[in-house]
Structure 1
């Protein structure tokens, strides 16, 4: 398939995990992809693996100046921007009784403020047919014990898509949310260990964790014209976890 032939995409958090899987799928379908992330070594490795249709810019979504550099590079290299996958995110467990201001700020700076400015600063480069994809989470619907800040931040992302779809009426730009459940990224495997992965796999009707490529495939669908009548929607790719 070449559903994204000639398209230009930005993927934040694109050097590893879901972002890297999406970048691979976008490129397979004909897109040129700008990867944006904090770790230069991981970005370099991703570009080496993805080939000539990938380019990396180092920076943090929590820093508007870094995002300005990203989009200046996009503007200098390409005629337009068609797809933004605002995928960068963070989250760590902390019980309600131990939540600190620093913990809340770290989570919301990346997962909410970072998404807001990733999209805001992209808009001048986008036009008719543009697709904005926000990474949500099953935790934004169901909640998750110990993950108050993370779950609340992902619920906020869901509402941002609804609000922006209304604000972008008439522009031809769509905004949708892609909400994964537990996904077997390298980071998740290392953090959870074998027993932890079994536990999370048991929580959904399909009895397994997602492969990052399965999430990337749905991101490609939302990026393409196959989803042209979808905006303000949430697509759950969670094995049914948040649907029952």
Structure 2
């Protein structure tokens, strides 16, 4: 049963046993996922990584889910490197995150089109120049599907696929070899584009 349906049943039908079962299962898997310090508040579970001083890379990090993850990683004491193709949003995100960060947490924000393999490699090289290692790669950059049927606008569909699929491929191709070279046992690789 999807989590959203479990939460709906728990809140609307009063079937708390469904939520309790889900909560228990999540608590069982958290230690193996490198997460600890589980706190439950009003039916929501907050997870904190003990990742202070580690580095997270987030593509599409200037807004939406990417920016929210950046906030969370900064709260956990992680350095954050953001990539986004929208310069204005990227500047605003960098200012916000810098204001949130402690003095020993560093923020990096680079304009990058993830669909361009050369730009992604340049971003990767810049990240490794600034930070010694990457511990978390979040290939988050993505865009919604074009309006209308996919066959109506070939260019729009190709752009969507270049970002949503090509961006993940480019991110993995650029970062994963270096992450493996570094032997970082805490590496996390997330892919969350809007495919």
Matched with 2:24 is none
Matched with 1:63 is 116
Structure-2 separation of matches of 1:72 and 1:42: 22
Residue 40 (structure 2) pairs with residue 8 (structure 1): no
Residue 168 (structure 2) pairs with residue 115 (structure 1): yes
> Structure 2 matches for 1:16-95, cutoff 5 A?
16-51=63-98, 53-95=106-148
The partner residue of 1:102 within 155, 166, 191 is 155
RMSD: 1.8
**Does structure 1 conserve the Cα–Cα contact (< 8 Å) formed by 2:56 and 2:138?**
yes
TM-score computed with the length of structure 1 as normaliser:
0.53
Secondary structure class of the residue paired with 1:55? strand
Q: Which has the larger radius of gyration?
A: 2
Which structure 2 residue ranges, 5 or more long, are not aligned? 1-47, 99-104
Matched with 2:35 is none
Structure-2 separation of matches of 1:119 and 1:103: 24
Cα shift readout 1:36-79 (whole Å, capped 9, x = no counterpart): 00122211111111115211011100111111111111111111
Residue 192 (structure 2) pairs with residue 135 (structure 1): yes
Secondary structure class of the residue paired with 1:75? helix
Cα shift readout 1:77-112 (whole Å, capped 9, x = no counterpart): 111111100000012343337523212211110000
Runs of 4+ with >4 A deviation: none
In the superposition, relative to structure 1, how do residues 102 and 93 fare at CA in structure 2: closer, same or farther (>3 Å)? closer
**Does structure 1 conserve the Cα–Cα contact (< 8 Å) formed by 2:85 and 2:112?**
yes
**Does structure 1 conserve the Cα–Cα contact (< 8 Å) formed by 2:113 and 2:119?**
yes
Aligned pairs, number = 138
Structure-1 separation of matches of 2:73 and 2:122: 22
Structure-1 separation of matches of 2:139 and 2:90: 16
Structure-2 separation of matches of 1:125 and 1:97: 36
Cα shift at 1:129: 2.5
**Does structure 1 conserve the Cα–Cα contact (< 8 Å) formed by 2:146 and 2:156?**
no
Bigger relative CO (Cα 8 Å, ≥ 6 apart): 1
TM-score computed with the length of structure 2 as normaliser:
0.66
Q: Higher strand share goes to which structure?
A: 2
